[in-house]
Amino acid sequence: MTINFEQARKNMVKNQVRAWEVLEPRVLAILDRIPRELFVPAPYAALAYADLALPLEHGEKMIKPVVEGRALQALALDGNESVLEIGTGSGYLTACLAELGREVLSVELHQDFVTRARQHLAAIGNSHAEVVCSEAVHDFDPGSRRFDAILVGGAVADIPERFLSWLNPGGRLFAVRGVEPVMHAVLIRNSGSARFTEQPLFETDLPYLAHAAAVAHFEL
């Protein structure tokens, strides 16, 4: 059976994403335009627009479309921002961020993900995103570069302080944090003078970013 991906994309935006309170016109337009099926692993292409977290290699998952939409809306990009994405995954959110912001640097632990994301971004003519291979929690170093927005693509037990240090004053960071199975999406703002404010957004559940899981405690 031939799938009409264009119609499936429109249905996703209308029936899933908008229904989950994603109403920002620029975000909806991007989700309606970028071919998500290109970024989904081939065995799951038919499910590209389903309300599912689709499997990727290395035990990772592609975030549900509704969560992607809420994350993009929360960052409130106006086209002038320098964006850092931590955890490229499939590269789909990378493409969305690159369309919504001015430029994107995406950091990914797995080289095969990096290679594939670069290929898919090139295939859709996206030239505003750079994808690099690095481990973000301990090793990645942006040097003096700072960002107006950061999207953390995997869950963290606690938000690493180094992530916050990469935010420009006025910058926003979206992350999902907590201990599974109950995690919370939050938006952190850099208010300047080393002050950060936190806005709770919604409950969800994501696989942990490498080296960012909660430490197990044992009781005798």
Q: What is the pLDDT of residues 32-85, one digit of tens each?
A: 999 999 999 999 999 999 999 999 999 999 999 999 999 999 999 999 999 999
| 125 membership: H or E segment, kind and range | none
The phi and psi torsions of 152 (rounded to 5 degrees) equal: -95, 115
> Residues of the chain with pLDDT > 70: what percent?
97
143, 166 in Cβ contact below 8 A?
Answer: no
17, 65 in Cβ contact below 8 A?
Answer: yes
Domains parsed from the chain with CATH numbers: 5-204 (3.40.50.150)
> What residues contact 169, with CB distance under 8 A and at least 6 apart?
190, 191, 192
Distance, CA of 152 to CA of 66 (rounded, Å): 16
pTM, 2 dp: 0.94
Any idea which residue has 């929360």 for tokens? 74
| Helix ranges (DSSP H) in the chain | 5-11, 25-33, 65-75, 92-100, 111-123, 161-165
CA-atom Rg of the chain in angstroms: 17
Query: Which band of pLDDT confidence, cut at 50, 70 and 90, is reported for residue 217?
Result: low
The phi and psi torsions of 20 (rounded to 5 degrees) equal: -100, 30
